[in-house]
Structure 1
């Protein structure tokens, strides 16, 4: 049977069981909406909306952090990248996991101790409030929107596969519906609702991945060597499929692109706004540190299972069918579920619908977390402390956050519609690069460098942000490539698909240069207070 015939058969099978698929989807969405409404009724003030009342345990927050982190990029993008590029695709899993060590060792505990709700709280403690909070809010919103692009693209691809939607208009409508659900989740539930949805979603995702992993290994009698060998043979690339260089390494440019990607993945997590605000939902620094330990364990187990997802898809599905379904491989995991259950069986349709519904719940939960991070930063940093100069009440802040949610949702829908055909793991890697370029240098300098000044913070944030976003705009991700966002035009002069190798050192350099050239005298007393607070948590909240 040819790849086209297999894809048509899969589509017909999905069509026959469409009522079942729609029912499962509806149940997942209604369940998460129910949780959001329940949590929303318990949201009484700004502390509840921003930080869930700081009532979550280390395990609960670790589960929620895992839910926030294991996004569409992890479940759909990495599986697709491995299915198409083998070893080089698995590098995403390694990079995403190693990044947590940076977050654990450098950021989690001192950040939890030093701030209240946002990254801007930490930066503004020893620097001029208004310019630093404006910069922190701007950076948070830009990074969150980059990350949202990946989730929107994943949602469009996933639902299009299940509902048989092939038109661009239909895919754009799906992206819009996800955006509307996202707005509802954040506006009603705040941090409490988002956290509970993240926990439920993490359990579902781990459960679904365990099931697929078990079925893949069962197919190969739990012989991983046999699985990898079959994947290499079926890929049409032979031994090269299991070796470095299929995607990165053929040319000098691709080698640089790999280094750039690796730097962005490893350093990006510690600067992601939606991950950073999770450290404020626990009662103390010890719980923040323990929650990261829980997250590393849960996420590590999940990324090990991506071997079964990606190589299982490569072994059981032809490359032509994977690419025919989606050029970037984003549907490899759902197609694997269908093939494991049987393309022409009810069990196959049930497995496809269940795994796809879990992936959809993953997307909804992550977009809610991202939107909450950016709307909270706008309301708390820009509206309350810059526009209202600290005179806004808690109720006014929450109202501003809800309006910001709508605005950010609309922007994300528009950009997500443009990015619907790009690989979601690659899109998330861009968000990591922007976060590591703008946020991470400023956070580390602020926490650990006594001389750091307001000018250094502004140069670091805006310098890293402008260079990272600018290089992405003029890279093959946006134009000049058949898989670009705008493939019909070519204004790409930056050859790499990830800007991290340039923009991250530039962010650190600008922070240092801005401080050295600043005429501002650092406040030694404020730094001493921040140092005590970051180490002990005394007076933090």
Structure 2
């Protein structure tokens, strides 16, 4: 990519950061410093606003970059993530949303502690929440690093990728410590609109390229994959012996149940005034999330057909750059102004996605540290709301530092795979008591 095209992309990245910081500054001036304001935004959001924010919180870099990349590399088997992430919301809608809003104040531990011994429950729930959150944060940072590495290319890409991980970590600390839930929510709403618009535009361009015929797209993807029709059948990634099939079933179960235990998703149900509003929020979010995951399937197979699995793998072995490469191809190719412009727009949307998600995750994990761990392990028990909020802000710095360190070590892994780890822990440790 030429220097002028890189400049365009960096300008869009800077615009995304500027907008999110402006939202944080605006929200920071409106806060009152109470725990309810910091953790739940005063519980003043409408179901529609919260539904968009939930969608913005859930549709992460793993969804936009990782899933499409896995589909581009492994075809049918890569769709497991799309299906699992969507089906999971039936569990949330039917079993979780109203229960969490009725029984809890700020964290899942509030729900479980109402029925069991409070101190050990809060400690266990707090540690598991932080573990899940850090794993999820690592995935977002790896996605950000992959974007910048693709943008710059050459020998500087690995260094730039590492500094991007550090930069994203610093930004997420600023969002949480200065803006709390109110800033995080509005960042997620803006991001949801941008991501849905970007995904819809790319999906339309892919279908137009194949004359509106999905069958032609799938045939082209199968032909270019090198696997023929096997690319469109189960078994390319999870075939073989019984251990691979067990892995397939285990992953599917983790994706479906893990959503019900994600701290940053559960915390969104506390931002609306009633349990009925929480349920209506889920209805809004399911519509947005369902449409988005259908589009990731088109984007994944479109990348396989137009870019090719080999080119995707050459750019990033884990497939994290499939969608940006697809955007470049749809715009006219790597050397064209149209390709560079479309790549820049998609990369900026993906970067906005990452920033919004890391803000929500960091807020949820810092809430667990302050509201669950600090209050339980402190010798004098709970210390008061204002002190607890101060602990949460300090905790966000520590969580950011840990996530940065792990993100630097995991840059060669697929972001959807990393999120799968977070879902597995969430399903095992948090969804079961829910």
When the two structures are superposed, what TM-score results if normalisation uses the length of structure 2? Answer: 0.97
1:3-14 → structure 2 map (5 Å cutoff): 12-13=1-2
Question: CA separation in 2, counterparts of 1:143 and 1:70?
Answer: 16
Q: Secondary structure at the match of 1:17?
A: helix
Question: CA separation in 2, counterparts of 1:136 and 1:183?
Answer: 22
Question: CA separation in 2, counterparts of 1:389 and 1:295?
Answer: 40
Q: What is the match of residue 411 of structure 1?
A: 402
Offset, 1:388? 5.5
Q: What is the match of residue 348 of structure 2?
A: 357
Match status 1:239 vs 2:221: no
CA deviation string 1:292-330 (max 9, x = no partner): 111111000001111221011001012221111000110
Task: Provide the aligned length of Structure 1 versus Structure 2.
Answer: 431
CA deviation string 1:140-190 (max 9, x = no partner): 101101111111111111111112364543322211111001111111111
From the superposition, tell whether residues 371 and 263 of structure 1 become closer, same or farther in structure 2 (CA, over 3 Å). same
Match status 1:209 vs 2:184: no
Question: CA separation in 2, counterparts of 1:88 and 1:127?
Answer: 41
Q: What is the match of residue 325 of structure 2?
A: 335
CA deviation string 1:50-96 (max 9, x = no partner): 00100111111111110111000000000100000011111110000
Q: What is the match of residue 398 of structure 1?
A: 389
Match status 1:378 vs 2:369: yes
Question: CA separation in 1, counterparts of 2:154 and 2:39?
Answer: 37
Offset, 1:393? 2.0
Q: What is the match of residue 357 of structure 2?
A: 366
- Conservation of the 8 A alpha-carbon contact between 1:154 and 1:330: yes
- Conservation of the 8 A alpha-carbon contact between 2:148 and 2:160: no
* Alignment partner of 2:25 out of 16, 37, 43: 37
Q: What is the match of residue 12 of structure 2?
A: 24
- Conservation of the 8 A alpha-carbon contact between 1:165 and 1:171: no
- Conservation of the 8 A alpha-carbon contact between 2:123 and 2:372: yes
Q: Secondary structure at the match of 2:433?
A: helix
1:107-146 → structure 2 map (5 Å cutoff): 107-146=96-135
Question: CA separation in 2, counterparts of 1:422 and 1:211?
Answer: 28
- Conservation of the 8 A alpha-carbon contact between 2:370 and 2:391: yes
Q: Which runs of 4+ in 1 moved over 4 A?
A: none
Q: Secondary structure at the match of 1:52?
A: helix
- Conservation of the 8 A alpha-carbon contact between 2:149 and 2:158: no
* Alignment partner of 1:294 out of 281, 284, 289: 284
CA deviation string 1:486-513 (max 9, x = no partner): xxxxxxxxxxxxxxxxxxxxxxxxxxxx
Question: CA separation in 2, counterparts of 1:291 and 1:276?
Answer: 12
Question: CA separation in 2, counterparts of 1:389 and 1:298?
Answer: 45
* Alignment partner of 1:422 out of 392, 413, 426: 413
* C-alpha RMSD of matched pairs (Å): 1.2
Q: What is the match of residue 256 of structure 1?
A: 246
- Conservation of the 8 A alpha-carbon contact between 1:150 and 1:425: yes
Structure 1 alignment gaps of length 5 or more: 1-11, 444-541
Higher helix fraction (1 or 2):
2
Structure 2 alignment gaps of length 5 or more: none
1:40-79 → structure 2 map (5 Å cutoff): 40-44=28-32, 45-79=34-68
Larger Rg: 1
* Alignment partner of 1:439 out of 421, 430, 434: 430
CA deviation string 1:433-486 (max 9, x = no partner): 10010011122xxxxxxxxxxxxxxxxxxxxxxxxxxxxxxxxxxxxxxxxxxx
Question: CA separation in 2, counterparts of 1:119 and 1:319?
Answer: 41
From the superposition, tell whether residues 388 and 104 of structure 1 become closer, same or farther in structure 2 (CA, over 3 Å). farther
From the superposition, tell whether residues 165 and 386 of structure 1 become closer, same or farther in structure 2 (CA, over 3 Å). farther
Q: What is the match of residue 144 of structure 2?
A: 155
Q: Highest relative contact order (Cα 8 Å, sep 6+), 1 or 2?
A: 2
Deviating more after overlay: 249-258 vs 260-269 = 249-258
- Conservation of the 8 A alpha-carbon contact between 2:210 and 2:216: yes
CA deviation string 1:310-367 (max 9, x = no partner): 0110010122211110001100000000000012221111110110010011011111
Question: CA separation in 2, counterparts of 1:377 and 1:23?
Answer: 36
* Alignment partner of 1:98 out of 87, 92, 95: 87
Offset, 1:251? 2.2
When the two structures are superposed, what TM-score results if normalisation uses the length of structure 1? Answer: 0.78
Q: What is the match of residue 185 of structure 2?
A: 195
Question: CA separation in 2, counterparts of 1:300 and 1:32?
Answer: 26
Q: Secondary structure at the match of 2:273?
A: coil
Offset, 1:385? 4.1
